[in-house]
Amino acid sequence: MSNVTVTTWSLEQTAPADLLPAIAPGGDVRIVRSEVPSPEFSRFLYASVGGDIRWIDRLGWTYAQWQEALERPGAETWVAYDKGTPAGYVELDPQDDGVVEVVYFGLIPAFRGRRIGGHLLSYGVARAWDLAGRWPGRAETKRVWLHTCSLDGEHAMDNYLRRGFKLFDTKVEEEPEVAAPGPWPGARAV
């Protein structure tokens, strides 16, 4: 098996004013919080968004592992719908000391290029900043961060920078080359 060089960039915002919102796309695009923890739905989103960009770390998770991740206090999933169809999602993970990580963010391939991504990221990051208001006992958010890598979509880094994220770390590593699995076993990767 051959290796591939992967660059991972970590980015952050340290104040709500850092967020530079995108303009909402036209049409019937809505963003809704998925309030009932559903491993089936979350795995669908994960595999559908990340299937062509090599998201593989959660593919082997059990139902119980998905349930545990979704039921963490303060964990939230926000889903974009275009005309009632799931188009993408943002998953937020509150950490210690007022830090919130954007763990996953992306669009299902059929919805890319429709100006939904910037809007969804803006909305998700705004929800990271006001997360404590929905979760009594959580510390006010002081920092929102995420990471992206050279395997992610070609517009990912530009979207993060346009939303006001600032680079704070870069790592370059050799990783085993893995074929994009597609959205489900046996699916042909796009």
Say if residues 92 and 49 touch (Cβ distance below 8 Å).
no
Q: Which two tokens stand for residue 11?
A: 């980015």
pLDDT at 185: 65
pLDDT at 61: 96
Tell me the pTM: 0.93
Cβ atoms within 10 Å, residue 18: 16
pLDDT at 178: 80
Euclidean distance between CA atoms 135 and 6, whole angstroms:
36
Instruction: Name the residue ranges covered by the structural domains of the chain.
Output: 3-176
Euclidean distance between CA atoms 167 and 104, whole angstroms:
17
CATH assignment of 3-176, among 3.40.630.30, 3.40.50.970, 3.90.25.10, 2.40.30.10: 3.40.630.30
pLDDT at 92: 98
Q: Computed from CA positions of residues 168, 121, 79, 179, in that sequence, does the dihedral angle turn out positive or negative?
A: negative
pLDDT at 190: 46
pLDDT at 187: 60
Element counts in the chain: helices (H) and strands (E): 4, 7
pLDDT at 14: 98
Extract the residue ranges of the chain whose pLDDT is less than 50: 189-190
pLDDT at 19: 98
